[in-house]
Amino acid sequence: MVSATVSPKFQVVIPRPVREKINLHPGTKMQVLAYGDRIEFIPIKPMKTMRGFLKGISTDVQREKKDRL
């Protein structure tokens, strides 16, 4: 288990193994969520990097007869 410490200024250094695993770089914007009794940091990715991430996904959806007017 990797751990971090909160500084007196409430700063946290993300440990190197975690930074490398999710490819974090200085200046990366993060969304911060309080979820129950934990804090989650989610990197905000530019929309350009999201292009094509659903490539190959099946778009077939089973619909009911009453689904459309």
- Within a domain: residue 5? no
Cα(24)–Cα(32) distance, integer angstroms:
15
What pLDDT is recorded for position 18? 92
Domain limits for position 26: 13-45
Number of compact structural domains in the chain: 1
pLDDT tens sequence across 5-64: 999 999 999 999 999 998 899 999 999 999 999 999 999 988 888 888 888 888 888 888
Is 61 inside any structural domain? Answer: no
pLDDT over threshold 70, residue 69: no
In-domain check, residue 8:
no
Look at residue 52 and tell me if it is in a domain. no
**CA gap 65, 36 in Å, rounded:** 41
* 59 in any annotated domain: no
Tell me the average pLDDT of the chain.
88
Residues 6+ apart with CB under 8 A from 43: 22, 24, 28, 29, 30, 31
Q: Please state, in angstroms and as integers, the Cα–Cα distance from residue 4 to each residue in 11, 16, 18, 62, 66, following that order.
A: 10, 11, 11, 47, 54
Q: Is residue 25, in this structure, part of any structural domain at all?
A: yes
